[in-house]
Amino acid sequence: MRILVLHGPNLNLLGSREPGLYGSHSLAEINAELSQRALLLGVELTCYQSNHEGALVDRIQQASGEADGILINAGAYTHTSIALRDALLAVALPYVELHLSNVHAREEFRQTSYLADRALGVICGFGVASYYLALEAVVGHLKAKNQ
């Protein structure tokens, strides 16, 4: 089983960017911890981060035939990108939307997602654990689907 993890804009600054809101883990630490958890689940993980919407679209399109599911923290693109939505729908891979912070307890514009209605689910507000919960959710879905 292969899972693609996508990190959107500004997530490369994790650990130093508003740690009171996003936590003190760097993106490298999150990827390393997530990879360890994936190994325990018998899952191959590929992590990718970009600040550029088109690069994320390209990576989603490349996932067709390479991945069985996607975890996506699209950052600010969650609230603005029809292109990411269209790419996710085009590859037709199951995905989980996730966020470190509770977007529903923040500014009103962050409460709109162009991805959520077609996602398996949305996990937010649990800091770095949001990634772990999302991984377990997509793996559980894929295992149940393959039974």
Sheet of 2-7, strands arranged across: 44-49, 2-7, 69-73, 95-99, 121-124
Instruction: Assign 19 a pLDDT band (cuts: 50, 70, 90).
Output: low
Is residue 54's pLDDT more than 90? yes
Share of the chain above pLDDT 70, in %: 94
Average pLDDT over every residue of 39-56: 97
Rounded Cα distance between 9 and 107, Å, is: 18
Active site residues: 22, 99
From the list 97, 80, 125, 68, the residue with the least C-alpha distance to 7 is: 97
For residues 121 and 94, the answer to whether their CB atoms sit within 8 Å is no
Q: What pLDDT was estimated at residue 112?
A: 85
Instruction: Assign 146 a pLDDT band (cuts: 50, 70, 90).
Output: confident
Is residue 18's pLDDT more than 70? no
Cα dist. 107→2, 34, 82, 110, 112 in Å? Answer: 34, 28, 20, 6, 10
Beta partners for 72? 6, 97
Query: What are the structural domains of the chain?
Result: 2-105+119-138 (3.40.50.9100)
Is residue 53's pLDDT more than 70? yes
Average pLDDT over every residue of 123-142: 96
Q: What is the mean pLDDT of the chain?
A: 93
Instruction: Assign 22 a pLDDT band (cuts: 50, 70, 90).
Output: low
Instruction: Assign 21 a pLDDT band (cuts: 50, 70, 90).
Output: low
Binding positions for substrate: 73, 79, 86, 100-101, 110
Residue that wins the pLDDT comparison between 21 and 98: 98
Binding positions: 73, 79, 86, 100-101, 110
Give the pairing type, strands 95-99 and 121-124.
parallel
